[in-house]
């Protein structure tokens, strides 16, 4: 049963679509069919229809009226011209930074209440007209008292309640899908909505965004690839953020980039490098990379540098997921389809009983046709659709934690397609992946990782005897309950203690031997190796 407030919101969505002359979207939405005829009975739907403007303009206006979640959906679609007709793509681009702003007086009041002082006292000058307005916030230009140019980002009032209302609708629809769609167990709709819930609610906290920006800035300190503006934390609150002003060329302004003789090919390649650097080396990636958030610094046109803004959506991966994902990328670039199949089974993304050779053949069928083609002849959107069909066949489970990365990949491809369609994605990305894998197996890296985990290992070894004693006590209690003879229990206790001692010696021996090998890689000190190895072998022989 659909909750009343959700049903009312669904009817409202239909009414907005119909009022903008988008009846075909209502008809195509199967979940709305039980409610569609009710909306035709509303008198407002008879008189509110206004078929003004093109189809693309009507769709954009409808998404703007429906609110932030729908605007973000339009922003994502706007980066995929390969999947949309031109008339829709041209209009949806306007959702990136040209959403209607809210009132200047409201913006000024929010700033003053958050920072506890008047705008005139806080800034040497403040631009009432916003520089840009998006779904969640808008930004104003300003100058600090010390003369530095900044932008002031102000959250739209009432966003929390508006977004929570539409999240309730998404949860209700996800529960319906979970209950009535046979494939729901694999699609995990409720978990996917849950991931989106966390992402978009985090975006409403500008203090969190400021912290994300500071971390990203540290990650790229001294980099020639990406510039991240400075955040002024003393002027930042949950609903207001002050940040250094970027004066660059918006990445979608191709005519200006060409007029300034920017090396477009290098710019496109650098975009790929930035993405893989963020994902692999930092495990901290900007996950809202639509053109409205990306600028180009053109002081040196032959070595253009990206500048990013809007850090509300940042993605990270668990180390296990990152390992499997990087392995899949590497196997994909090497055309090692069997390894892709094995990784999917090892990671649990497909059921354990899946036959490797069948999955290998299916992946090859999807991926092989796209190799050695420039990006303008490849649509990853289409490839993803075919992979989803393969996923359904093999009961592949949707991984909610990877949805944000998949969205970012689609954005990156859309940017690359617009910038330089001849970009050789494989040639650019493959060396980055190989370097990452080599780095992970170098002795210095192994030593650094071992040293980082050494306190945990020592603590575990210390806890081992007490753990064994507790197991023995619990065994004695269980034995008394079931009547195991005391002599048998004593034998079992002695065996457990002997096994624990042997395991301790083996762990220490392995640590000493591994330490010796790492020592070779770091200092080449064979005396240290001999001492460490002899100690380890002595313990092993004692076992």
pLDDT at 344: 86
By the 10 Å C-beta count (0-12 exposed, 13-18 middle, 19+ buried), 415 is classed as buried
In terms of Cβ atoms closer than 10 Å to its own Cβ (0-12, 13-18, 19+), residue 271 is: buried
Q: What are phi and psi of 307, to 5 degrees?
A: -135, 130
Residues in the chain, total: 543
pLDDT value of residue 162: 85
In tens, the pLDDT along 446-487 reads 666 666 666 766 676 667 677 777 777 776 666 555 555 555
Q: For residue 172, what pLDDT is reported?
A: 83
Measuring CA to CA, how many Å separate 381 from each of 197, 300, 319, 369?
Answer: 24, 34, 27, 14
Q: Is 288 a catalytic residue?
A: yes
Q: What is the DSSP letter of 96?
A: T
Count of Cβ atoms closer than 10 Å to residue 385 Cβ:
12
Contacts of 195 (CB under 8 A, 6+ apart): 400, 401, 403, 404
pLDDT for res 215: 96
Q: What is the pLDDT of residue 35?
A: 47
Model pLDDT, residue 541: 47
Phi-psi region of 67 (alpha: psi -120 to 50; beta: other; left: phi over 0): left
For residue 445, give the H/E element and its range.
helix 443-482
CB burial readout 277-297, b (16+ within 10 A) else e: bbbbeeebbbbbbbbbbbbbb
Residue 52, both tokens:
């003004």
CATH fold of 104-158+200-314: Phosphorylase Kinase; domain 1 (3.30.200)
Which regions of 181-262 does DSSP assign to beta strands (E)? Answer: 226-227, 240-244, 249-250
- Give the Cα separation of 208 and 8 in Å (integer): 33
Q: Which residues of the chain have pLDDT under 70?
A: 1-2, 23-52, 76-77, 79-84, 96-97, 183-184, 186-187, 372-376, 378-389, 398-401, 442, 444-454, 456-458, 460-462, 464, 475-543
**pLDDT attached to residue 121:** 95
pLDDT value of residue 42: 52
**All structural domains of the chain with their residue ranges:** 4-95, 104-158+200-314, 159-199, 335-441, 443-542
**Which secondary structure element, helix H or strand E, spans residue 314, and what is its range?**
strand 314-315
Catalytic, out of 263, 288, 504, 525 = 288
Q: Report residue 359 as tokens.
A: 């999955």
CB 105 within 8 A of CB 97: no
DSSP 107-166: HHHHHHHHHTS-HHHHEEEE-SS-SEE-SSEEEEEEEETTS-EEEEEEEPTTHHHHHHHH
Instruction: Mention every residue, 6+ apart, whose C-beta is less than 8 A from residue 282.
Output: 219
pTM: 0.70
């Amino acid at each position: 049963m659909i909750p009343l407030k959700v049903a009312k919101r669904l009817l409202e969505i239909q009414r907005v679509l119909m009022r903008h002359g988008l009846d075909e979207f209502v008809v195509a939405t199967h979940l709305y069919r039980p409610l569609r005829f009710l909306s035709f009975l509303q008198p407002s739907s008879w008189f509110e229809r206004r078929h003004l403007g093109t189809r693309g303009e009507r769709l954009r206006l409808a998404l703007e009226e429906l609110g932030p979640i729908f605007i973000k959906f339009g922003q994502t679609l706007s980066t995929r011209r390969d999947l949309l007709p031109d008339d829709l793509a041209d209009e949806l681009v306007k959702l990136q930074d040209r959403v209607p702003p809210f009132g200047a007086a409201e913006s000024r009041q929010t700033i003053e209440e958050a920072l506890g002082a008047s705008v005139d006292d806080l800034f040497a000058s403040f631009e009432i007209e916003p520089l840009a307005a998006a779904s969640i916030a808008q930004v104003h230009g300003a100058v600090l008292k010390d003369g530095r140019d900044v932008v002031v980002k102000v959250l739209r009032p009432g966003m929390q309640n508006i977004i929570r209302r539409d999240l309730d609708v998404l949860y209700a629809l996800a529960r319906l899908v979970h209950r009535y769609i046979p494939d729901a167990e694999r699609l995990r709709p409720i978990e996917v909505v849950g991931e989106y819930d966390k992402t978009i609610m985090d975006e409403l906290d500008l203090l969190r965004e400021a912290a994300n920006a500071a971390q990203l800035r540290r990650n790229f300190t001294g980099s020639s690839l990406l510039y991240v503006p400075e955040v002024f934390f003393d002027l930042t609150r949950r609903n207001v953020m002050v940040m250094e002003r970027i004066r660059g060329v918006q990445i979608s302004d191709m005519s200006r980039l060409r007029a300034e003789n920017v090396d477009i090919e290098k710019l496109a390649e650098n975009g790929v490098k930035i993405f893989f650097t963020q994902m692999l080396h930092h495990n901290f990636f900007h996950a809202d990379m639509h053109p409205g958030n990306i600028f180009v610094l053109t002081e040196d046109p032959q070595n253009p540098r990206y500048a990013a803004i809007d850090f509300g959506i940042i993605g990270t991966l668990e180390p296990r997921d990152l390992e499997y994902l990087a392995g899949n990328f590497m196997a994909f670039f090497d055309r090692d389809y069997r390894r892709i199949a094995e990784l999917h089974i090892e990671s649990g993304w497909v059921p354990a009983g899946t036959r490797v050779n069948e999955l290998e053949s299916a992946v090859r069928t999807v991926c092989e046709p796209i190799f050695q083609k420039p990006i303008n002849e490849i649509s990853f959107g289409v490839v993803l659709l075919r992979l989803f069909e393969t996923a359904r066949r093999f009961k592949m489970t949707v991984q909610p934690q990877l949805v944000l990365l998949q969205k970012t990949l689609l954005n990156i491809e859309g940017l690359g397609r617009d910038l330089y369609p001849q970009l050789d994605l494989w040639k650019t990305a493959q060396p980055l992946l190989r370097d990452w894998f080599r780095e992970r197996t170098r002795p210095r890296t192994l030593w650094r990782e071992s040293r980082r985990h050494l306190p945990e290992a020592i603590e575990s070894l210390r806890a081992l005897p007490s753990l064994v004693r507790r197991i023995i006590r619990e065994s004695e209690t269980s034995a008394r309950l079931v009547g195991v003879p005391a002599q048998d229990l004593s034998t079992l206790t002695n065996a457990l203690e002997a096994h624990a001692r042997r395991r301790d010696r083996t762990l220490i021996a392995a640590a000493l031997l591994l330490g010796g090998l790492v020592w070779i890689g770091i200092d080449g000190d064979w005396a240290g190796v001999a001492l460490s190895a002899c100690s380890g072998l002595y313990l092993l022989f004692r076992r």
